[in-house]
Amino acid sequence: MTRRDKENPINWKTLLLAGLAGSIGFSIPAVAQEDSVLVRPVMPDDFDRGRNESVAERARPDYDPIGIHAGSFVLRPRVETGLGYDSNIYLMKQDKTDAAYAVLAPSLQASSAWSRHALNFTASTNLRRYFGESDRNETTWNAGTLGRLDLTSSFSLTGEAQFAKLAENTLSGAIASQQAAFSRYRRDYYSLRGEYRSGQLRSFLKADETVFRFSDMNLSDGTFIDQGDRDRNVKRVVGQVEYAFTPSVSAYGQGTYDWTNYDRALLLSGDDNRDSEAYRMIAGFNFDLAGMMRGTLGAGYIRRNFDSVLYRTVSGLSVEGRVEFFPSELTTVTVQAQRLLEDSNINQTTAFFSNTLSTRVDHELLRNLILNARGELEYQDYLNSDRHNWLYRASTGARYLVDNRFSVALNAQYASRTTQAGYSSGFSDFRGQLSLIIQK
């Protein structure tokens, strides 16, 4: 029993868990996926050729938000508010601290309704407040715009800018989980993409830059951690060519080159920082088979060269795959696999490979009751070190659509990290949340 239980005879934890368990008993998972890496690769899109429709995509005119028409734009305001419970808010292996929390997450999307060209704006914030544990509070936000200029029937230019203040994923392999719980960072993203389509050929060339600025941390025990040696700019150029053999199947090849430049020349330890250049070559297939499946499967090679002689060149297999299966009109099964390379700030490690396999099931039990379930396994393999992590995550939930304006969501997630002997960042955590969504 924790200190707060002794002070408060009302066992709110039992009441909340009972409500979650009762709902989960007839539902199946759904907590949004969080990425354990900061920089995502460019994965080929547009495998949707209109031959299949997933449960999440299906139009529900009686329940889908209508939006507000303002001239040639459609505004879609949304507010989510909820209460939740977290069994291990500081992600400790022992001496766990649990807490209830409240969430308020308003957002607004504005989209053009033009016959040619496109312009979208998005803005959102997420306020999470823990009862009795203010050190763990989160205030995040995101604002962005995307514009597409259709220069000809075959060629378009797309520009994008996003600005965000985010909380680091607590399952990230970049730093220890106990620190990730306190880590906040600013991310600015800019990109320009040119795309050409003609007959069976599609190609694009994209340049982007991501700027990371990490805030200093004050841990619950009073420890101060300077994260300035994690600040960096990542510039990237991506090119892809795709050829459709049939209306259902195409093959693609993609090449990426990126430059990572840290603001500080030295780590806090005094060693050289990890400025580097990297390239990735990958090829695969993109398909959409009516009534069966759709997706992308690709594999290739990645290599990173560090500027400092302290660090060895890193190379290895790179994998990306996402396949949706359609056993019936009411069920969609998604299988995803990836192998990515990311920088690490744990002890003397420089980088790690994140190897992830996940499965998700979405099921339409009723027209207005959507259930889903997800399971994920990740292996984080640190280079130049005997360190490795195993991550396990399972989530469950349901969303009940009341009408065009209101819906209720129930989500629950269990996550666990295990490490080999000699490391102390293992933990397990349960989180559940009941939310009311209001939209227009």
* Cα gap 88→262, rounded to integer Å: 33
Please list, residue by residue across 318-337, b when 16 or more beta carbons sit within 10 angstroms of its beta carbon and e when fewer do: bbbbbbbebeeeebbbbebb
Which residue in this structure is represented by tokens 């994923």? 169
Give the residues across from 237 on adjacent strands.
207, 257
Q: What is the mean pLDDT of residues 418-433?
A: 79
The H-or-E segment that residue 209 falls in is strand 201-214
The H-or-E segment that residue 261 falls in is strand 249-262
The residue type found at 416 is S
* Cα gap 216→225, rounded to integer Å: 6
Which of 4-13, 222-231, 248-257 is predicted most confidently? 248-257
Q: What is the mean pLDDT of residues 400-406?
A: 96
Please state which of the ranges 221-225, 316-320, 410-414 shows the lowest mean pLDDT: 221-225
Please state which of the ranges 57-61, 176-180, 264-268, 307-311 shows the lowest mean pLDDT: 176-180
Secondary structure class of 71 (helix, strand, coil): coil
Please state which of the ranges 1-10, 203-212, 394-403 shows the lowest mean pLDDT: 1-10
The residue type found at 175 is I
Q: What is the mean pLDDT of residues 55-64?
A: 93
Six token digits for residue 332? 């969609």
Please state which of the ranges 138-147, 261-270, 336-345, 417-426 shows the lowest mean pLDDT: 417-426
pLDDT digits (tens, 9 = 90+) for 253-299: 999 999 999 999 998 888 899 999 999 999 999 999 998 999 999 99
Q: What is the pLDDT of residue 19?
A: 41
Q: What is the pLDDT of residue 265?
A: 94
Q: What is the pLDDT of residue 384?
A: 77
Q: What is the pLDDT of residue 435?
A: 98
Q: What is the pLDDT of residue 88?
A: 94
> For residue 1, is pLDDT > 60?
no
Query: What long-range pairs does 136-140 form, CB within 8 A, spacing at least 24?
Result: 136/89, 136/90, 136/99, 136/181, 136/182, 138/167, 138/184, 139/165, 140/164, 140/165, 140/166, 140/167, 140/184
Residue 429 near residue 415 (C-beta atoms within 8 A): yes
For the chain, which domains are there?
3-439 (2.40.160)
Q: What is the pLDDT of residue 263?
A: 96
Residue 85 near residue 431 (C-beta atoms within 8 A): yes
Residue 99: how many other CB atoms lie within 10 Å: 20
Please state which of the ranges 33-37, 58-62, 181-185 shows the lowest mean pLDDT: 33-37
> For residue 156, is pLDDT > 70?
yes
More confident residue, 47 or 374: 374
Q: What is the pLDDT of residue 438?
A: 97
Which residues have C-beta within 8 Å of that of residue 422, sequence separation ≥ 6?
Answer: none
- Share of residues in the chain with pLDDT > 70 (%): 87
Residue 353 near residue 385 (C-beta atoms within 8 A): no
The residue type found at 395 is S
> For residue 26, is pLDDT > 60?
no
Six token digits for residue 233? 């700019």
* φ, ψ dihedrals at 347, nearest 5°: 50, -125
> For residue 119, is pLDDT > 90?
yes
Q: What is the mean pLDDT of residues 118-145?
A: 96
> For residue 31, is pLDDT > 60?
no
> For residue 9, is pLDDT > 50?
no
Find how far residue 3's CA is from the centre of its chain.
34
Give the residues across from 332 on adjacent strands.
362
Q: For the whole model, what pTM was predicted? A: 0.85
* φ, ψ dihedrals at 20, nearest 5°: -65, -45
Secondary structure class of 181 (helix, strand, coil): coil
> For residue 6, is pLDDT > 60?
no
Secondary structure class of 29 (helix, strand, coil): coil
Residue 40 near residue 33 (C-beta atoms within 8 A): no
* φ, ψ dihedrals at 229, nearest 5°: -80, 0
Q: What is the mean pLDDT of residues 191-205?
A: 94
Q: What is the pLDDT of residue 98?
A: 95
Largest interatomic CA distance in the chain: 70
The residue type found at 378 is E
Residue 76 near residue 67 (C-beta atoms within 8 A): yes
Q: What is the mean pLDDT of residues 136-149?
A: 96
Q: What is the mean pLDDT of residues 203-227?
A: 90
Q: What is the pLDDT of residue 207?
A: 96
Mean pLDDT of all residues in the chain?
87
> For residue 11, is pLDDT > 80?
no
Residue 43 binned pLDDT confidence (cut-offs 50, 70, 90): low
